[in-house]
Amino acid sequence: MGVIARYRERLPVTDATPMVDLDEGSTPLVESRNIAASLGLRRLFFKYEGLNPTGSFKDRGMCVAVAKALEAGSKVLVCASTGNTSASAAAYAARCRMRAVVFIPSGEIALNKLSQALMYGAKVVALKGNFDRALATVRELADSYPVALVNSVNPYRIEGQKTAAFEIVDALGEAPDYLLLPVGNAGNITAYWRGFREYHEAGKSANLPRMVGAQAEGAAPIVLGRPVENPKTVATAIKIGNPASWEGATSARDESGGLIEAVSDTEILQAQIRLASTEGLFAEPASVAPLALLYRLVREGRLEKDATTVVVLTGSGLKDPDVAIANVEPPVELDGDARSLAKALKL
Ligand code: F0G
């Protein structure tokens, strides 16, 4: 069952809204064994959003946005994307037999995300310039032409994405003390905060989490307090210089008593290897920015060790393997019989 069916009464859908789903959501909340132990944390969980049907959290909001677009009679979906939104929009368009036209910054997105959009049958337009420029362009398009814009400036995207907060509270029986996630265009932090607040108001949790956002150092407009003209980071998913939901992110941070900080590309790549090699969870670079920040917060004594912490792993590591494997030992070339292999491998 997808998120619309599961959380229907908390979403802006009616009997007139078509049911759209790819069985998204219901992702695992995996309890950390080894990172928690090494940091001395009592309860640390990973919300593994890479297990959504297109490999990222975008599917939660996309199904609602596409359902509402269909309800309104739209036939064409458009978006700008650093890769995951375009993959998700393309998949749901295919599912609903709609057209998708996706705009990506030329040469800037991970190959596997591009392959998804192409395979799902979207028209992929590579635009010169960065994500911020592509978003400005599609907003202009959507203002003047009969197309449905499915970036997170579409309020239905945020509505669908808030269901991840519901799932965390449903799984833990309460809200965590800290919720850490990456911040790019800032729709997701806005959505989680809304989800936690709504569940709190409905009496489903006694507390609210502190919202902790991670940006990449070279693409940290919210941390700096001003747009970044030429964002740079290895975490291409969050290579964004002027987030559309800026205000939503700062409200989530300030109302929850949280923080938004930047981590370096080196910290991101280290966290990616640690997560994969000690927990068996492979997440894309953007997704591990909050884990890199967690290491810092614990090291500096800014996060209580008996707190319940959830780190959202927003996208699968398989989205962008090239960047990851550049930093680990390559396969070894070996040949021979079992005996000589065993010797070489010290078995
Ligand atoms: N993590 C991943 C894997 C993402 O793809 C994104 C955003 C984010 C985090 C940041 O979320 O924008 O809501 O703050 N990707 C968008 C895209 C921009 O086009 O796929 P946000």
DSSP letter for 153, please. T
**Long-range contact set of residues 299-305: C-beta below 8 Å, sequence gap at least 24:** 303/41, 303/178, 304/177, 305/39, 305/40, 305/41, 305/42
- Residue 322 is predicted with a pLDDT of 92
**Which amino acid residue places its CA nearest to atom 3 of ligand 1?**
315
Q: Is 241 left (phi over 0), alpha (psi -120 to 50) or beta?
A: alpha
CA distance 221 to 229: 9
47, 60, 82, 288: residue to mutate for ligand 1 pocket, most atoms within 8 A of CB: 82
The answer, yes or no, to whether any atom of ligand 1 lies below 6 A from the CB of 185, is yes
Instruction: State the average pLDDT over residues 259-274.
Output: 98
pLDDT of residue 150: 98
pLDDT digits (tens, 9 = 90+) for 208-218: 999 999 999 99
Atom 7 of ligand 1, nearest CA residue: 237
Q: Which atom of ligand 1 is nearest to the CA of 161?
A: 13
Residue 233 neighbours by CB under 8 Å, 6+ apart: 216, 217, 218, 219, 239, 265, 268, 285
Ligand 1 pocket: which of 56, 60, 135 to mutate (most atoms within 8 A of CB): 56
Element (H, E) at 100: strand 99-105
Q: What is the pLDDT of residues 69-79, one digit of tens each?
A: 999 999 999 99
pLDDT of residue 346: 96
CB 83 less than 6 A from any atom of ligand 1: yes
- Structure tokens belonging to residue 129: 């310039």
Angle 192-193-198 (CA atoms, 0-180°, nearest 5)? 100
CB atoms within 10 A of CB 201: 10
Determine the distance separating the centroid of ligand 1 and the alpha carbon of 346, expressed in angstroms. 43
CB of residue 82 inside a 6 A radius of ligand 1? yes
The pLDDT value recorded for residue 1 is 95
Residue minimizing CA distance to atom 12 of ligand 1: 185
328-338: pLDDT as tens digits: 999 999 999 99
Q: Which of 188, 251, 268 to mutate to test the pocket of ligand 1 (most atoms within 8 A of CB)?
A: 188
Q: For residue 253, what are the contacts with CB-CB under 8 A and spacing of at least 6? A: 189, 211, 213, 259, 260
56 DSSP 8-state letter: B
Q: What is the pLDDT of residue 82?
A: 97
Q: Distance, CA 58 to ligand 1 centroid (Å)?
A: 8
Decide if 208 contacts 178 (C-beta within 8 A).
Answer: no
Give the pLDDT of residue 341: 96
For the stretch 283-306, pLDDT in tens is 999 999 999 999 999 999 999 999
Q: What is the pLDDT of residue 301?
A: 98
What pLDDT sits at residue 220?
Answer: 98
Atom 19 in ligand 1: which residue has the minimum CA distance?
81
Tell me how far apart the alpha carbons of residues 60 and 101 are, in angstroms, rounded to a whole number: 20
Residue 237 contacts residue 285 (beta carbons within 8 Å): yes
**Total-model pTM:** 0.97
Query: Closest ligand 1 atom to the C-alpha of 83?
Result: 20
Which pLDDT value is given to residue 167?
A: 98
* Angle ∠(295,208,262) on CA atoms, nearest 5: 30
